[in-house]
Structure 1
Amino acid sequence: MYGGHHTPGDHKVISLKLLVDKARDRVIFAESDCEFVDTLLSFLTLPIGSAVRLLGPDSTSIGSLTAMYKSVASLEPRSLRTDYCQEMLLNPRNATEIQCSKLKINVYPLEPVNLYSCDRHWCIDSGRRFSTVKGRPCRCKHPMSDRVYVDQAEKGAKDDCEGGGVFVKDGAFRFMITDDLQVMAGSAAACLSLFRKIGLDDGNEVEERTLEFGEQEVLCLLKFALLSKSPLTEAIRYIQCSSKKESTKFQPKRTPQLDKSARTANTDNMNLKLFVSKSKKCVLFAEAGADVVDFLFSILTYPLGSIIKLLGKNSGFGCMDNLYKSVEHLGTGGYLKSEERMKMLVCPKLAPFHSVDNQLLQIEESCLSAVVMDPKSPTGEVDAGKGYMKRPGTFMILNDLSVAPFSPVTSVALLYQMNIPVDDVVERVVAIGPDEALNLLNASLISKTVLSDVFNQREPYPEYFSRALGHQYGLVNQKQDSSLSQVFPSPPFLSLLHDPSSPEFLSLTCRSMSGGDDTPADRKVISLKLLVDKSRNRVIFAESDHDFVDTLLSFLTLPIGSVVRLLGPDSTAIGSLTTMYNSVASLESRHLRTDSCKDMLLNPRNATETQCSELKINVEPLEPVKLYQCNNGCCMRWFSTIKDRPCRCKNPTFFRVRVGQAEKGAKDDCEGGGVFVNDGAFRFMITDDLQVMAGSTAACLLLFQKLGIDDGNEVEERTLEFGEQEVLCLLKFALLSKSPLTEAILYIQCSSEKEIIKFQPKRTPQPDKNAGDANTNNMTLKLFASKSKEKVLYAEAGVDVVDFLFSILTYPLGSIIKLLGKNSGFGCMDNLYKTVEDLGTGGYLKSEERRKMLLCPKLAPFHSVGNQLLQIEEASYPLYVYDHRRNLWVAAESEENRHSAVVMDPKSPTGEVDAGKGYIKGPGTFMILNDLSVAPLSPVTSVALLNQMNVPINDVVERVVTIGPNEALNLLNASLISKTVLSDVFNQREPYPECEFGIQHCTTDSKPLVKQQCWIRVTMLVCTNYQLLRFIYNWIKPELE
Structure 2
Amino acid sequence: MYGGHHTPGDHKVISLKLLVDKARDRVIFAESDCEFVDTLLSFLTLPIGSAVRLLGPDSTSIGSLTAMYKSVASLEPRSLRTDYCQEMLLNPRNATEIQCSKLKINVYPLEPVNLYSCDRHWCIDSGRRFSTVKGRPCRCKHPMSDRVYVDQAEKGAKDDCEGGGVFVKDGAFRFMITDDLQVMAGSAAACLSLFRKIGLDDGNEVEERTLEFGEQEVLCLLKFALLSKSPLTEAIRYIQCSSKKESTKFQPKRTPQLDKSARTANTDNMNLKLFVSKSKKCVLFAEAGADVVDFLFSILTYPLGSIIKLLGKNSGFGCMDNLYKSVEHLGTGGYLKSEERMKMLVCPKLAPFHSVDNQLLQIEESCLSAVVMDPKSPTGEVDAGKGYMKRPGTFMILNDLSVAPFSPVTSVALLYQMNIPVDDVVERVVAIGPDEALNLLNASLISKTVLSDVFNQREPYPEYFSRALGHQYGLVNQKQDSSLSQVFPSPPFLSLLHDPSSPEFLSLTCRSMSGGDDTPADRKVISLKLLVDKSRNRVIFAESDHDFVDTLLSFLTLPIGSVVRLLGPDSTAIGSLTTMYNSVASLESRHLRTDSCKDMLLNPRNATETQCSELKINVEPLEPVKLYQCNNGCCMRWFSTIKDRPCRCKNPTFFRVRVGQAEKGAKDDCEGGGVFVNDGAFRFMITDDLQVMAGSTAACLLLFQKLGIDDGNEVEERTLEFGEQEVLCLLKFALLSKSPLTEAILYIQCSSEKEIIKFQPKRTPQPDKNAGDANTNNMTLKLFASKSKEKVLYAEAGVDVVDFLFSILTYPLGSIIKLLGKNSGFGCMDNLYKTVEDLGTGGYLKSEERRKMLLCPKLAPFHSVGNQLLQIEEASYPLYVYDHRRNLWVAAESEENRHSAVVMDPKSPTGEVDAGKGYIKGPGTFMILNDLSVAPLSPVTSVALLNQMNVPINDVVERVVTIGPNEVPKNCSSGCILVSYGNEGLSAFELAALNLLNASLISKTVLSDVFNQREPYPECEFGIQHCTTDSKPLVKQQCWIRVTMLVCTNYQLLRFIYNWIKPELE
Q: TM-score, normalization: structure 2?
A: 0.87
Equivalent position of 1:1002 in the other structure: 1027
Q: Is the 8 A contact 2:452 2:458 kept in 1?
A: no
- Shift of residue 60 of structure 1? 0.4
- Shift of residue 683 of structure 1? 1.6
Residues 400-441 of structure 1 deviation map (CA, whole Å, 9 limit, x = unaligned): 111111122221221221223445432211111000000000
Residues 14-38 of structure 1 deviation map (CA, whole Å, 9 limit, x = unaligned): 2222222222222222222222111
C-alpha change, 1:344 and 1:992, in structure 2 (3 Å) is: closer
- 1:773 is paired with a residue whose SS is helix
Residues 120-162 of structure 1 deviation map (CA, whole Å, 9 limit, x = unaligned): 3333333222221222222233322222222335679677555
Q: Is the 8 A contact 1:426 1:466 kept in 2?
A: no
Q: Is the 8 A contact 1:957 1:992 kept in 2?
A: no
Structure 1 CA distance for aligned equivalents of residues 87 and 672 of structure 2: 18
Q: Is the 8 A contact 1:946 1:1021 kept in 2?
A: no
Q: Is the 8 A contact 1:115 1:132 kept in 2?
A: yes
C-alpha change, 1:503 and 1:92, in structure 2 (3 Å) is: farther
Please identify, of 331-340 and 550-559, the stretch whose mean Cα deviation from structure 2 is larger.
Answer: 331-340
- Shift of residue 712 of structure 1? 3.7
Q: Is the 8 A contact 2:408 2:697 kept in 1?
A: yes
- Shift of residue 281 of structure 1? 3.2
- 1:893 is paired with a residue whose SS is coil
Q: Is the 8 A contact 1:629 1:657 kept in 2?
A: yes
C-alpha change, 1:495 and 1:743, in structure 2 (3 Å) is: same
Please identify, of 629-638 and 195-204, the stretch whose mean Cα deviation from structure 2 is larger.
Answer: 629-638
Please identify, of 558-567 and 455-464, the stretch whose mean Cα deviation from structure 2 is larger.
Answer: 455-464
Residues 173-196 of structure 1 deviation map (CA, whole Å, 9 limit, x = unaligned): 222211111111222222222222
Please identify, of 93-102 and 187-196, the stretch whose mean Cα deviation from structure 2 is larger.
Answer: 187-196
Q: Is the 8 A contact 1:354 1:365 kept in 2?
A: yes
- Shift of residue 454 of structure 1? 0.4
Q: Is the 8 A contact 2:638 2:902 kept in 1?
A: yes
Q: Is the 8 A contact 1:1023 1:1029 kept in 2?
A: no
C-alpha change, 1:1014 and 1:353, in structure 2 (3 Å) is: closer
Q: Is the 8 A contact 1:61 1:245 kept in 2?
A: no
Structure 1 CA distance for aligned equivalents of residues 475 and 108 of structure 2: 55
Residues 581-623 of structure 1 deviation map (CA, whole Å, 9 limit, x = unaligned): 1111111222222221111111111111111111111111111
Please identify, of 337-346 and 245-254, the stretch whose mean Cα deviation from structure 2 is larger.
Answer: 245-254
- 2:894 is paired with a residue whose SS is helix
- Name stretches of at least 5 consecutive residues in structure 2 with no aligned partner: 967-992
Structure 1 CA distance for aligned equivalents of residues 995 and 503 of structure 2: 59
Residues 655-681 of structure 1 deviation map (CA, whole Å, 9 limit, x = unaligned): 222333466795452221111111121
- 1:235 is paired with a residue whose SS is helix
Structure 1 CA distance for aligned equivalents of residues 162 and 464 of structure 2: 68
Matching of residue 273 in structure 1 with residue 298 in structure 2: no
C-alpha change, 1:953 and 1:1012, in structure 2 (3 Å) is: farther
Please identify, of 204-213 and 436-445, the stretch whose mean Cα deviation from structure 2 is larger.
Answer: 204-213
C-alpha change, 1:257 and 1:13, in structure 2 (3 Å) is: closer
- Shift of residue 265 of structure 1? 2.6
C-alpha change, 1:886 and 1:802, in structure 2 (3 Å) is: farther
C-alpha change, 1:284 and 1:732, in structure 2 (3 Å) is: same
C-alpha change, 1:23 and 1:948, in structure 2 (3 Å) is: same
Equivalent position of 1:117 in the other structure: 117
- 1:395 is paired with a residue whose SS is strand
Residues 171-223 of structure 1 deviation map (CA, whole Å, 9 limit, x = unaligned): 23222211111111222222222222222222222222222211111111111
C-alpha change, 1:625 and 1:127, in structure 2 (3 Å) is: farther
C-alpha change, 1:725 and 1:563, in structure 2 (3 Å) is: same
Residues 504-526 of structure 1 deviation map (CA, whole Å, 9 limit, x = unaligned): 99999999999999633211111
Please identify, of 739-748 and 134-143, the stretch whose mean Cα deviation from structure 2 is larger.
Answer: 134-143
Q: Residues 97-496 of structure 1 correspond to what in structure 2 (within 5 A)?
A: 97-153=97-153, 161=161, 163-240=163-240, 242-256=242-256, 259-422=259-422, 424-457=424-457, 494=494, 496=496
C-alpha change, 1:71 and 1:511, in structure 2 (3 Å) is: farther
C-alpha change, 1:464 and 1:788, in structure 2 (3 Å) is: farther
Please identify, of 312-321 and 421-430, the stretch whose mean Cα deviation from structure 2 is larger.
Answer: 421-430
Structure 1 CA distance for aligned equivalents of residues 964 and 142 of structure 2: 52
- 2:385 is paired with a residue whose SS is coil
Structure 2 CA distance for aligned equivalents of residues 1022 and 675 of structure 1: 46
Structure 2 CA distance for aligned equivalents of residues 183 and 533 of structure 1: 65
Structure 1 CA distance for aligned equivalents of residues 481 and 5 of structure 2: 71
- 2:816 is paired with a residue whose SS is helix
- Shift of residue 398 of structure 1? 0.9
Structure 2 CA distance for aligned equivalents of residues 223 and 993 of structure 1: 80
Q: Is the 8 A contact 1:473 1:705 kept in 2?
A: no
Structure 1 CA distance for aligned equivalents of residues 286 and 831 of structure 2: 30
Please identify, of 496-505 and 20-29, the stretch whose mean Cα deviation from structure 2 is larger.
Answer: 496-505
- Shift of residue 648 of structure 1? 2.3
Residues 913-933 of structure 1 deviation map (CA, whole Å, 9 limit, x = unaligned): 111121122222222222111
Please identify, of 16-25 and 980-989, the stretch whose mean Cα deviation from structure 2 is larger.
Answer: 980-989
Q: Is the 8 A contact 1:542 1:687 kept in 2?
A: yes
Please identify, of 474-483 and 758-767, the stretch whose mean Cα deviation from structure 2 is larger.
Answer: 474-483
Q: Residues 541-620 of structure 1 correspond to what in structure 2 (within 5 A)?
A: 541-620=541-620
- Name stretches of at least 5 consecutive residues in structure 1 with no aligned partner: none
- 2:288 is paired with a residue whose SS is strand
Q: Is the 8 A contact 1:683 1:695 kept in 2?
A: yes
Q: Is the 8 A contact 1:556 1:814 kept in 2?
A: yes
Residues 983-1028 of structure 1 deviation map (CA, whole Å, 9 limit, x = unaligned): 2111149999999999999999999999999999999999999999
Structure 2 CA distance for aligned equivalents of residues 1006 and 261 of structure 1: 80
- Shift of residue 896 of structure 1? 8.1
- Shift of residue 965 of structure 1? 6.1
Residues 697-747 of structure 1 deviation map (CA, whole Å, 9 limit, x = unaligned): 222122222222344433222111111111100100110111111111111
Q: Is the 8 A contact 1:306 1:348 kept in 2?
A: yes
Q: Is the 8 A contact 2:509 2:720 kept in 1?
A: no
- Shift of residue 490 of structure 1? 6.1
C-alpha change, 1:994 and 1:171, in structure 2 (3 Å) is: closer
Please identify, of 138-147 and 846-855, the stretch whose mean Cα deviation from structure 2 is larger.
Answer: 138-147
Q: Is the 8 A contact 2:495 2:504 kept in 1?
A: no
Identity of aligned residues (%): 100
Q: TM-score, normalization: structure 1?
A: 0.89
Please identify, of 730-739 and 947-956, the stretch whose mean Cα deviation from structure 2 is larger.
Answer: 947-956
C-alpha change, 1:538 and 1:976, in structure 2 (3 Å) is: same
Q: How much is the aligned-residue C-alpha RMSD, in angstroms?
A: 9.5
- 1:766 is paired with a residue whose SS is coil
Please identify, of 87-96 and 1027-1036, the stretch whose mean Cα deviation from structure 2 is larger.
Answer: 1027-1036
Equivalent position of 1:769 in the other structure: 769
Residues 466-496 of structure 1 deviation map (CA, whole Å, 9 limit, x = unaligned): 9999999999999999999999666765553
Structure 2 CA distance for aligned equivalents of residues 511 and 335 of structure 1: 74
Alignment size in residue pairs:
1040
Structure 1 CA distance for aligned equivalents of residues 472 and 209 of structure 2: 71
Structure 2 CA distance for aligned equivalents of residues 221 and 476 of structure 1: 31
Please identify, of 243-252 and 147-156, the stretch whose mean Cα deviation from structure 2 is larger.
Answer: 147-156
Residues 19-75 of structure 1 deviation map (CA, whole Å, 9 limit, x = unaligned): 222222222222222221111111111110110010000000000000111111111
C-alpha change, 1:38 and 1:661, in structure 2 (3 Å) is: farther
Please identify, of 800-809 and 980-989, the stretch whose mean Cα deviation from structure 2 is larger.
Answer: 980-989
C-alpha change, 1:228 and 1:476, in structure 2 (3 Å) is: closer
C-alpha change, 1:303 and 1:282, in structure 2 (3 Å) is: same
- Shift of residue 303 of structure 1? 0.6
Please identify, of 118-127 and 690-699, the stretch whose mean Cα deviation from structure 2 is larger.
Answer: 118-127
Structure 1 CA distance for aligned equivalents of residues 80 and 780 of structure 2: 59
Structure 1 CA distance for aligned equivalents of residues 70 and 447 of structure 2: 16
Structure 1 CA distance for aligned equivalents of residues 1044 and 358 of structure 2: 85
C-alpha change, 1:495 and 1:628, in structure 2 (3 Å) is: same
Q: Is the 8 A contact 1:55 1:219 kept in 2?
A: yes
Structure 1 CA distance for aligned equivalents of residues 634 and 615 of structure 2: 41
Please identify, of 166-175 and 1020-1029, the stretch whose mean Cα deviation from structure 2 is larger.
Answer: 1020-1029
Structure 2 CA distance for aligned equivalents of residues 863 and 656 of structure 1: 23
Please identify, of 752-761 and 325-334, the stretch whose mean Cα deviation from structure 2 is larger.
Answer: 752-761
Q: Is the 8 A contact 1:1008 1:1039 kept in 2?
A: no
C-alpha change, 1:391 and 1:942, in structure 2 (3 Å) is: same
Residues 273-332 of structure 1 deviation map (CA, whole Å, 9 limit, x = unaligned): 111234433211111111111111111111101100000000011111111111111111
